Amino acid sequence: MAHVLGQNQYGKAETRVVRITRNGHRHEIRDLNVSVALSGDLDDVHLTGSNAHCLPTDTTKNTVYAFAKQYGITSPEAFGIQLARHFVDDTEPIHRARIRVEEYVWDRIATPDNSAKFIGSDEIGHSFVRRGTEVRTSEIVYDGSSVQVISGLKDLIVMNSTNSEFWGYIKDRYTTLQEAYDRILATQVTARWKFGFTGAEGEPEPNWDRSYGQVRRHLLEAFAETYSYSLQQTLFAMGNRVLDNRAEVDEVRLELPNKHHFLVDLEPFGLKNDNEVYYAADRPYGLIEGTVHREGVAPVIPVA
């Protein structure tokens, strides 16, 4: 019986590239993890052993490094778009490129002693600290005619120590959960948001870095400012806040694990626990996921 080759893609995954830009003594760092996935006219590679249409994954890795040198990295999105266009437009058998980029953000270390911050009139800035666990993400797909950009973040851990309740839920014979009128709400945010940008001729690119900073800010502010009756309600508020404030975004997908904090029973020690001492549970965790999108725009961010 004949079997059929289905969807296939290939490329170098997780190329780690760190690009330093040296403006005098003040340096900038972009620290990326780039994964390339190419598809196109590749049947023969799989079916006959001919590699005539195969651009080696090693070459895709080298291209990442060469582009970092030649063009710099102004943002993960701009870098991804440039790579995607190159692979599709310059390599005949390649018809589609998907570039995934993770960025590890480095913040400048502020020093209290300002006098040490200059050499002559040249500002010094070559010391950085990694920003917690948080990772900036983006996925760029180019099929030879249009570009799709989905940006995001993951492992952004946040907590509200009050203004969260959870009650009024279904109670069946298996329900033991006590209603909560003042609980901790903590989560590790994974967010992805899709841009309206399509890469059409003459269409201006969003300011990717500024957009990222603003979306992140709105997610955090909505988390902090929402008086929550469930993590589901907080999820909608966060997505909604981004769409209200960022015209360049038309869809937001959130994955919010409920990082449960359980009150410890201190009665055995003759102590009253007045919402002060918690056990931070590792697993299992509730997992709340959802998409918020503009009316009339069909959502496209895949369910993870």
Ligand X SMILES: O=c1[nH]c(=O)c2[nH]c(=O)[nH]c2[nH]1
- Whichever of 71 and 262 has its CB closer to ligand X, that residue is 262
Q: Which of 147, 189, 215, 231 binds ligand X (CB under 6 A)?
A: 231
Rule CB under 6 A: say whether 230 interacts with ligand X. Answer: yes
State the minimum distance, in angstroms, from the CB of residue 201 to ligand X: 46
- Whichever of 219 and 231 has its CB closer to ligand X, that residue is 231
User: Which residues does residue 120 pair with via DSSP β-bridges, in sequence order?
Assistant: none
Q: Which of 87, 142, 166, 212 binds ligand X (CB under 6 A)?
A: 166
Rule CB under 6 A: say whether 226 interacts with ligand X. Answer: no
Rule CB under 6 A: say whether 290 interacts with ligand X. Answer: no
Place of tokens 């979306």: 215
Least Cα distance to 265 among 279, 282, 284 occurs for: 279
Map residue 238 onto helix, strand or coil. helix
| 57: annotated active-site residue | yes
Q: What does the block give as tokens for 32? A: 């990326």
Query: 280, 264 in Cβ contact below 8 A?
Result: no
- Residue 31: other Cβ atoms inside 10 A: 17
Task: Check 25, 27, 53, 57 and give the catalytic one.
Answer: 57
- Whichever of 150 and 231 has its CB closer to ligand X, that residue is 231
DSSP secondary structure code for residue 64 in this structure: H
| 91: annotated active-site residue | no
State the minimum distance, in angstroms, from the CB of residue 230 to ligand X: 4
Q: What does the block give as tokens for 252? A: 């937001």
Least Cα distance to 254 among 213, 296, 211, 223 occurs for: 223
State the minimum distance, in angstroms, from the CB of residue 73 to ligand X: 39
Site for ligand X in 249-288 (CB under 6 A): 258, 286
Q: Select from 65-73, 126-134, 214-222, 229-237 the region that touches ligand X (CB under 6 A).
A: 229-237
**Cβ-based neighbours of 293, under 8 Å, separated by 6 or more:** 243, 250, 251, 252, 299
- The rounded distance, in Å, linking the Cα atoms of 65 and 60 is 9
State the minimum distance, in angstroms, from the CB of residue 216 to ligand X: 22
Q: Select from 29-37, 100-108, 130-138, 224-232 the region that touches ligand X (CB under 6 A).
A: 224-232
State the minimum distance, in angstroms, from the CB of residue 189 to ligand X: 14
Task: Please report the sign of the dihedral spanned by the C-alpha atoms of residue 219, residue 225, residue 226, residue 231.
Answer: positive
Site for ligand X in 168-197 (CB under 6 A): 177
- The rounded distance, in Å, linking the Cα atoms of 9 and 113 is 52
| 234: annotated active-site residue | no
- Whichever of 91 and 233 has its CB closer to ligand X, that residue is 233
Task: Check 12, 218, 259, 293 and give the catalytic one.
Answer: 12
Q: Select from 31-39, 70-78, 135-143, 225-233 the region that touches ligand X (CB under 6 A).
A: 225-233
- The rounded distance, in Å, linking the Cα atoms of 277 and 100 is 41
How many residues at the interface with ligand X, by CB under 6 A? Answer: 7
Task: Please report the sign of the dihedral spanned by the C-alpha atoms of residue 8, residue 11, residue 15, residue 18.
Answer: negative
Task: Please report the sign of the dihedral spanned by the C-alpha atoms of residue 17, residue 21, residue 27, residue 28.
Answer: negative
Enzyme catalytic residues: 12, 57, 260
* Residues making contact with ligand X (CB under 6 A): 166, 177, 230-232, 258, 286
